[in-house]
A and B are shown apart, each in its own frame.
Chain A
Amino acid sequence: MHLFFQELINGLVVGSLYALVALGLALVYGTMGIPNFAHGHLYMLGAYVAFFGVTVAHIGYWPALLLAVAVLAALGVLLERVVFRPLRSAPEVNAIIAAVGVLFFLQTLAQIWFGADFRVLPTPYDHVVHLGGFVATQQQLVVIAAAAVLMVLLFLFLKRTLVGATIEAVAQNRAGAALVGIDTDRVSMLVFGISAGLAAAAATLIASISLISPTMGFSVILKAFAVIVLGGMGSIPGAIVGAFILAFAESFGGTYVSTSYQDVIAFAVLAIILAVKPTGLFAKGT
């Protein structure tokens, strides 16, 4: 039973991480149809910005998180403008190829600047909390709480503000949105900014629990794709539900089945879903 609770906490932490990363991926896919394979590397860069914010600039934990979000949001906007906008009318695979180019660049940049060493982001929340019989670190609870707050804020932004409504409009029908006077180019940049910002927030939160390295983006991006396929490409609630399903499958599967094949669970889930339903679960129309 003790082990069960421990895995429950782990599942919630990992699920929060997957949800934040996958939300960004789903937003971009939903509004622009771009599977951004470089998303995991934006996440990686976010972790480094926060790391240097805390250890070199000494600006403190939360300001470092905000700095990472701001820097990566700016980079996301830049990517949309420079890389993905010129490819909007090109065949679908061209955007994937361009994303692979961005990914190569970012990973090499990180290797040059930061070296291949693994790092851990220092956190002020390093105490252990006892919650009636089982234990969690403060940082684990911070991850869960912060992710929940971010998800609620994103939801309110999309559903309750005019700017959020324009994003939804572009996602539903790009040409229609343009016809009613929405600046779709600006919406695209905004979406990329939010997407990269969310990835940076996720990376900063988890960087005190797992390790930072230039290749940390690779495993996360594939998990995030598994999540959004599970949740229906481009669906926001689907991404959140999918993230927690995958995280629990991994943490319990890792404990009770096999740790060396823990990482395969995500890809097996993804392959099975696409085999059964080629358009993904909960897909909006076809």
Chain B
Amino acid sequence: MRRLLWTAVAAVALALPLLLGNSFYLHILAGAYITAIAVYGLNVILGWTGLLNLGHAAFFGIGAYGVALLETRLGWSFWPALAAGCLAAMLLGFAVGLIGLRTRGNYFAIFTAAIGVMIATVFTNWQDLTGGNIGIVNIAPPSIGPYALDNDVAKYYLVVAALALAILICTLVRRSLVGRTFLAIADNESLARATGIDVARTKLVAFVLSTFLAGFAGGIFAMYQGNLDPGSSGLDITFEQLLYLVIGGIGTLAGPLLGTLVLVAVSELLQGIQQYRFLIFGPLLVLLVIFFPRGIVGVFDRLVAPKLRGRPVGPVGDAEAALR
């Protein structure tokens, strides 16, 4: 059932460029997919281990600036630059995690917020390197062999492939033993420790994976846009990604994509009053976190799925859903 659903989603994503002649919608969609990759990263650390990284957008920025700088300053081509950008985000994630994960709960959120704002400030102020608020322009499009991916449709497919890869990684990790230890920690840290799980190392693995996905999304973003400025790395961007995740469903596999697509679509529908969308989204976030902490997917699992299959409602159903 789920596999069928994912296949359908993939088919629609692949067919859309043929159906939509208008490249504007394609552009919006590609942007949403890229954001969704970053939101998957946030889901790994918040949804699976219960830690809130408020510097997430800064790791996105590390990947993005990595690609942009290596391409424009050193003349690297896209693929090695993307690999280096991801590696940079992971290395920084490792260092920040090593220090930050010694703190717990709320301290971790505050610590990562501080790290994130520092990184964004460096992007803005190190003008010789990053071009300050103007940023970096003319990032060359990638190529596969002799074919340059320099048109919107080709770039769109590249973004779809990147998103598919991110979802695949999340699915495989989630089903692996490591993925289950993540959930064990989120559920009950003391109990997890008592059963012999190395909690510190597991959290670090989750954090590095989450920063990898952020950096990966950032690298794809720099490629897709062709230009880059520090606005992509601020605390407000992390907050927005958090909003997408909570609305889609924290800790679920479909949540990040669903939340991002729904909110980007709603934002587009609200044209003209788009800047006021947070007047609705803000209170919505509060209501969801109080009444439906597992977002749209949680609502579906709790209200719709049991009726479809006669599964029990309540904690048992939730735990099963979490392991699917």
Beyond A101-B284, A218-B235, A225-B110, is A267–B118 a contact (Cβ under 8 Å)? yes
Convert A204-248 into 0s and 1s, putting 1 for each residue whose CB lies closer than 8 angstroms to a CB of B.
Answer: 000000000000001000100110010001000000000000000
Is A35 a contact of B109 with CB atoms below 8 Å?
Answer: yes
Is A138 in contact with chain B by the CB < 8 A criterion?
A: no
- The answer for the CA separation of A266 and B52 in the assembled complex, in Å, is 21
The complex places the Cα of A176 from the Cα of B125 at a distance, in Å, of: 50
Q: A93-B109, A271-B115 are in contact. Are A98 and B279 (CB under 8 A)?
A: no
Q: Name the segment of B59-67, B78-86, B98-106 touching the other chain.
A: B98-106
A274 touching B100, Cβ below 8 Å: yes
Task: Give the nearest-CB partner of A106 in chain B.
Answer: B282
A229-B110 contact given A93-B46, A104-B243, A261-B125, CB 8 Å threshold:
yes
Task: Known contacts A35-B110, A108-B279, A222-B113; decide if A102 and B100 are in contact (CB<8 Å).
Answer: no
Q: Is the CB of A101 within 8 A of B285?
A: yes
Q: Are B289 and A94 in contact (CB under 8 A)?
A: yes
Q: Do B242 and A97 touch across chains, with their CB atoms under 8 A apart?
A: yes
Q: Does B278 contact A (CB under 8 A)?
A: yes
Question: Is the C-beta of B290 less than 8 angstroms from some C-beta in chain A?
Answer: yes
B193 to chain A, nearest CB (A): 17
Q: Once the chains bind, are A268 and B243 in contact (CB under 8 Å)?
A: no
Asked whether A111 lies within 8 Å of B289 as measured between CB atoms, the reply is no
Q: Does B195 reach chain A (CB closer than 8 Å)?
A: no
With the chains together, A239 CA to B109 CA distance in Å?
Answer: 19
The answer on a CB contact under 8 Å between B282 and A103 is: yes
Residues of B within 8 Å of A98, CB to CB, are: 285-286, 289-290
CB-based contact B278/A222 at 8 Å: no
CB-CB under 8 A from B37, the residues of chain A are: none
Near B by CB (< 8 A), chain A positions 84-118 give: 86-87, 90-94, 96-98, 100-109, 111-112
Set of chain B residues within 8 Å of A226, measured between Cβ atoms: 114
C-alpha gap A253/B51 in the complex (Å): 33
Q: Say what secondary structure dominates the interface of chain B.
A: helix
A residues in contact with B118, CB < 8 Å = 264, 267-268, 271
In the complex, the answer to whether A267 meets B106 with C-beta atoms within 8 Å is no
B279: chain A residues at CB < 8 Å are 105, 108-109, 112
Q: Are A278 and B282 in contact (CB under 8 A)?
A: no
Contact in complex: B275, A104 (CB < 8 Å): no
Least CB distance, B49 to chain A, in whole angstroms:
11
- Given contacts A87-B289, A225-B110, A264-B121, whether A274 and B46 have CB atoms under 8 Å apart is no
B30 contacts the other chain (CB 8 A): no
B29 at the interface (CB under 8 A from A): no
Does A56 lie at the interface of the complex (its beta carbon under 8 Å from any beta carbon of B)?
Answer: no
- A91 engages B50 (CB within 8 Å): yes
A93 and B110 within 8 A (CB): no
Which A residues touch B106, using CB under 8 A?
29, 33, 35, 92-93, 96, 233
Query: Chain A CB within 10 Å — which of B109, B276, B289 has the most?
Result: B289
Q: Closest residue to A90 on the B side, CB-wise?
A: B293
Interface secondary structure of A, over-half rule: helix
Which residues of chain A come closer than 8 Å to B51, judged between CB atoms? 93
Q: Is the CB of A111 within 8 A of B275?
A: yes
Q: Could you say which of A29, A108, A229 contacts B282, with CB atoms under 8 Å apart?
A: A108
Which residues in A have their C-beta under 8 angstroms from that of B113?
222, 225
A181-223 contact mask (Cβ, 8 Å, vs B): 1 or 0? 0000000000000000000000000000000000000100010
In the complex, what residues of B have CB within 8 A of residue A94's CB? 289, 293
Enumerate chain B residues within 8 angstroms of A109, measured Cβ to Cβ: 279
Q: Mark B117-140, 1 if CB is under 8 A from A, else 0.
A: 110011001000000000000000
Residues on B with C-beta less than 8 A from A106 are 282
Check: A169 CB closer than 8 A to any chain B CB: no
Assuming the A-B contacts A96-B52, A97-B242, A278-B102, are A267 and B282 also in contact, with contact meaning beta carbons closer than 8 angstroms in the complex? no
| Chain B positions within 8 Å of A180 at CB level | none
Identify the closest chain A residue to B279 (Cβ).
Answer: A108
Contact call B282/A102, Cβ cutoff below 8 A:
yes
| A168 within 8 Å of B (CB atoms) | no
B-facing mask of A251-269, CB < 8 A → 1, else 0?
0000000001101101110
A35 contact set on B, CB distance < 8 A = 106, 109-110
Alpha-carbon distance A105/B283, docked complex (angstroms): 7
**How many Å from the CB of A38 to the closest CB on chain B?**
10
| Contact surface of B with A, Cβ cutoff 8 Å | 46, 50-52, 99-100, 102-107, 109-111, 113-115, 117-118, 121-122, 125, 235-236, 239, 242-243, 246, 275-279, 281-286, 289-290, 293
| The 5 residue pairs across chains A and B that have the minimum distance between CB atoms | A105-B282, A101-B285, A104-B282, A267-B114, A104-B278
Given A90-B293, A275-B100, 7 new contacts (CB under 8 A) = A93-B50, A96-B52, A101-B285, A104-B239, A105-B278, A222-B114, A222-B235
| A residues in contact (CB < 8 Å) with B | 29, 33, 35, 83, 86-87, 90-94, 96-98, 100-109, 111-112, 218, 222, 225-226, 229, 233, 260-261, 263-264, 266-268, 270-271, 274-275, 278-280
Q: List 16 A-B contacts (CB under 8 A).
A: A92-B105, A93-B51, A94-B289, A98-B286, A100-B285, A101-B243, A102-B286, A103-B282, A104-B239, A105-B279, A218-B236, A225-B110, A225-B113, A275-B102, A278-B103, A279-B103
